[in-house]
Amino acid sequence: MVARAVSKYIRVSPYKLRPYADVIRGYSVQKAYAWLKTCAVKRTDPIIKTLVSAYANAKFKNPELDSMDKVFVKEIRVDQGPIVRYFKPAAMGRAAPQRKRMSHILIIVDKKQS
C-alpha cells in the first residue's frame, strides 16, 4: 500500500529544503512530523503540509491506518522547479540579475511491515 503527495511551485530554493528532507527519509510519519514541527524554520511548512497530505491519502486508501506510527516515509524528493529571473539596480547604473528558485516536493509513504 503506497500513497503519495506532491507540492509544486514552492517559493523556497531546493538547496534550502533538501537538508530537512534528508533527515526525515525513512522515519515514521509521526516522528517526521514531530521533528519538523520542532524546527523553528518557516521553510519546513511546505514539507509538513505535503507529509500530512501523503498520510491523509494513505489513510483514505486504507482506513485501518488510524495512527501515524503505522506509516513511514518511503521516499521524499525535492526537485528544482522553474526559476524566476529578474533584474535589480546595482552600482554605477548597472543591472544585477536575480534568480528566485522554486521547488517541487514529492513524498511517498508506505505501511510498516509488522
| Spatial distance between the Cα atoms of 109 and 54, rounded to a whole number of angstroms | 7
What does the pLDDT look like over 57-111, one tens digit per residue?
999 998 888 888 899 999 999 999 999 999 999 999 999 999 999 999 999 999 9
| Average pLDDT value for the chain | 94
What does the pLDDT look like over 65-78, one tens digit per residue?
888 889 999 999 99
3-state secondary structure the chain: CEEEEEEEEECCCHHHHHHHHHHHCCCEHHHHHHHHHHCCCHHHHHHHHHHHHHHHHHHHHCCCCCCHHHEEEEEEEEEEEEEEEEEEECHHHCEEEEEEEEEEEEEEEEECCC
Q: Band the pLDDT of 52: cuts 50, 70, 90.
A: very high
pTM for the model: 0.91
CB 62 within 8 A of CB 112: no
| Spatial distance between the Cα atoms of 65 and 24, rounded to a whole number of angstroms | 20
